[in-house]
Structure 1
């Protein structure tokens, strides 16, 4: 039974919520359903807001990251650690902006695009976002199938087909309540973190090389086409386009008072929640690359780019018998976790852009089916090597979709007419546009090297 304080807060949240011109709030079945205290110790209030940031962080350590981080560590050692650090800082900024948009306006990013852009532009953005979700789903299918194969010997095609069943897992958790969904996600994140903490301890990487890789950029990242391809794949795998739509929606599950002071307080706690969670994602992504650099780059195995190869070599090269098993368990947890966020993002995007509501299981099976088909075809034709290349390619596709989510987001949160007093300051706006320009510049450079350069 709720105490008087939380019950009053929950009532206040529902009373003040008025979505700006939209017929329905974002994710109406869970909108403003989680009570938050308005007084008390800071930790209690932070705990009430903890959850959305960790759900968003799942997308920053999904199986797609594994392929790009493994390839980066094996081929180039610690050099691309700077790219992981940079992309994580970009993610922290962009996710904070997404949370601000959702809390301040009562709209998620998809609803805002539909409301403020001409229909042709909104539909084009919807298509771009759907492509990003399919690319993300593709990575999850491949990663989960590989993990099932490594742990239980299930063939890749069979594992890919099994992933279609995860729709029912999401349904079960959603029916129990949004807090159960968040608890499931956080539990699997703890598993992933623990697995890599053990591997980092076993690898014993040199601290000096790690710090140099994290904080000293190399010009070779831009001048070496092979390194740039992997670097943009890391950015695409880290800064996830659909996560911006997701975060702008799920922060509204909290029943904060929909008043100006209530919203400002909610923005503060939601930003802190996502920042802490994304630092966990930074550790996991850096750990994958560091373990790969120690095990493969320094041992003459620079050509290791496939998860299956890494699984076979990790234990003997690190001298820890359980290292390979921990690697596969973390991969499976990552794949399962990512399905939750992809399901919600797909629902948010479809409802926000099209005002079209279909059952969650149908939506999940549709997007998962679109991801399973290419995995099954490529696996049948080219085997494990083909799926590994498809995994890296999916992350580059994600990176190509980033501008279609980042530019509208920065545009909205810097517009005082739409955001009022919640619009970001001029300095933050300049920084956000620099991030958007950097993403665009890297994408155009990749296109030049892969298409025009071939001529």
Structure 2
């Protein structure tokens, strides 16, 4: 690579071209720039070409891990933690918009950007942290899917855990059909989840005033260690670290014009797509907590923390026979959906940090195997109650990994030498660094309360 002289360097920094110099293979090469984007026509027609990646990443914001933390929060503390869901969702909207901007502006996903900027030791640490996050996420999906199979079809928990390994072949089938088929499958299951919870909210008939009050932050969230623990679990389940890597890659599946004008339009459409999709995630997460608060907390059942308990009590307490079945169907759809995005994220992370490429099935089976082992051991030793606690713990582990993805992302998108004309504005940069600071502060407090006894 030749060195740039002073004039060329200034021009490169102004446009962001310096960091767009080609380096190896593009992110997710089998799907990169494979989906056509109309260059003319109505705004709506061009917008529809970008619909998809936002819904793919929204899956991670309503996976089975969210269910455990939302159910525990709603049954124990009523509507109080709705504020945490709202704030974490706003954080997610900002961070995912930044991830899309990074991918489109530079042509690199977040893992590739980290490899280009940091030294080998830091990259290895970031890679390990991200893999731990993916395993924690996958662990939640294994437990959630196995529980759904048990509740709906009576399949024993251990057998259901082993069955979840077969989802690798579902992903392979969809990928071979094309990325649009993958997106359509995900959106269809998201629709199923939203409809199921829409019916349950109507049946539960929660008080609107209490819901609105719950969206106002309470100081007790920070002063009550038990509430903070679940709040951190909600943040970990909502703002998913591996989703930042995933989003920065899959936005590049669109064949937008690879020039400044094309990138600017792509960033705008991708941000709209992810914002709308994450509002759906906000509805689903809030709905789970609202149903738990209106059904369990209102009946004095503040001890409901497990998905199985919620399934068994839902229909009797709501008075709707189909409520528990809808709950199980939505859980199964959530578990299946989440496996797809976790696999793609794992592939992107491994290729970006290590430049190591494995066949998708092999990658999936390795990740799923690492998640299955602890679930099998805990289920064998402690039964269903042990897996429920493991599910909540997995979300706290996810939250602990957040700074390792958020800080590099914010560092890159606020750097003009890397982003050029696509660098974020000062107000956005301040908001992004504030989010990063809040996440780090909450993690430090959680560690202190956990290991120093509160």
Please, what TM-score do these two structures have when normalized by structure 2? 0.95
Q: Name the CA distance, whole Å, in 1 between partners of 2:203 and 2:49.
A: 36
Alignment match, 1:26: 27
Deviations 1:110-137 (A, max 9, x none): 0000001011001100000000000000
Q: CA deviation at 1:21?
A: 3.6
Q: Name the CA distance, whole Å, in 2 between partners of 1:20 and 1:197.
A: 48
Q: Does 1:423 align with 2:432?
A: no
Alignment match, 1:307: 307
Alignment match, 2:152: 151
Q: Name the CA distance, whole Å, in 2 between partners of 1:61 and 1:106.
A: 28
Q: What is the SS of the residue equivalent to 1:217?
A: coil
Alignment match, 1:42: 43
Q: Does 1:188 align with 2:202?
A: no
Within 5 Å, give how 1:284-299 maps onto structure 2: 284-299=284-299
Relative distance call for 1:398 and 1:61 in structure 2 (3 A) is: same
Deviations 1:17-67 (A, max 9, x none): x95342100000010000011221121111100000000000000000000
Alignment match, 1:241: 241
Q: Does 1:376 align with 2:376?
A: yes
Q: Name the CA distance, whole Å, in 2 between partners of 1:396 and 1:190.
A: 27
Give the stretch that moved more between structures: 41-50 or 372-381: 41-50
Q: What is the SS of the residue equivalent to 1:329?
A: helix
Q: Name the CA distance, whole Å, in 1 between partners of 2:442 and 2:158.
A: 34
CA contact 1:83–1:234 (8 Å) conserved in 2:
yes
Within 5 Å, give how 1:25-424 maps onto structure 2: 25-214=26-215, 216-424=216-424
Q: CA deviation at 1:319?
A: 0.5
Deviations 1:402-453 (A, max 9, x none): 0000000000000000000000011110100000000011111100000023
Specify every segment of 5 or more residues in structure 2 that has no aligned partner in the other structure, as ranges. 1-16
Q: What is the SS of the residue equivalent to 2:70?
A: helix
Count of aligned pairs between the two proteins = 437
Deviations 1:360-390 (A, max 9, x none): 0000000000000000000000000000000
Q: Name the CA distance, whole Å, in 2 between partners of 1:450 and 1:58.
A: 29
Q: What is the SS of the residue equivalent to 2:255?
A: coil
Q: What is the SS of the residue equivalent to 2:35?
A: coil
Alignment match, 2:13: none
Q: Name the CA distance, whole Å, in 1 between partners of 2:252 and 2:312.
A: 44
CA contact 1:20–1:107 (8 Å) conserved in 2:
no
Q: Name the CA distance, whole Å, in 1 between partners of 2:289 and 2:300.
A: 16
Deviations 1:76-111 (A, max 9, x none): 000000000000000000000000000000000000
Q: Name the CA distance, whole Å, in 1 between partners of 2:239 and 2:386.
A: 24
Deviations 1:323-363 (A, max 9, x none): 00000000000000000000100000000000000110000
- What is the Cα-based RMSD across aligned positions, in Å? 1.0
Q: Name the CA distance, whole Å, in 2 between partners of 1:46 and 1:148.
A: 37
Q: Name the CA distance, whole Å, in 1 between partners of 2:131 and 2:236.
A: 15
Specify every segment of 5 or more residues in structure 1 that has no aligned partner in the other structure, as ranges. 1-15
Q: CA deviation at 1:315?
A: 0.1
Alignment match, 1:12: none
Q: Name the CA distance, whole Å, in 2 between partners of 1:112 and 1:411.
A: 11
Q: Name the CA distance, whole Å, in 2 between partners of 1:450 and 1:121.
A: 27
Q: Name the CA distance, whole Å, in 1 between partners of 2:305 and 2:274.
A: 30
CA contact 1:92–1:275 (8 Å) conserved in 2:
yes
Q: Name the CA distance, whole Å, in 2 between partners of 1:32 and 1:452.
A: 50
Alignment match, 1:6: none
Q: Name the CA distance, whole Å, in 2 between partners of 1:62 and 1:217.
A: 24
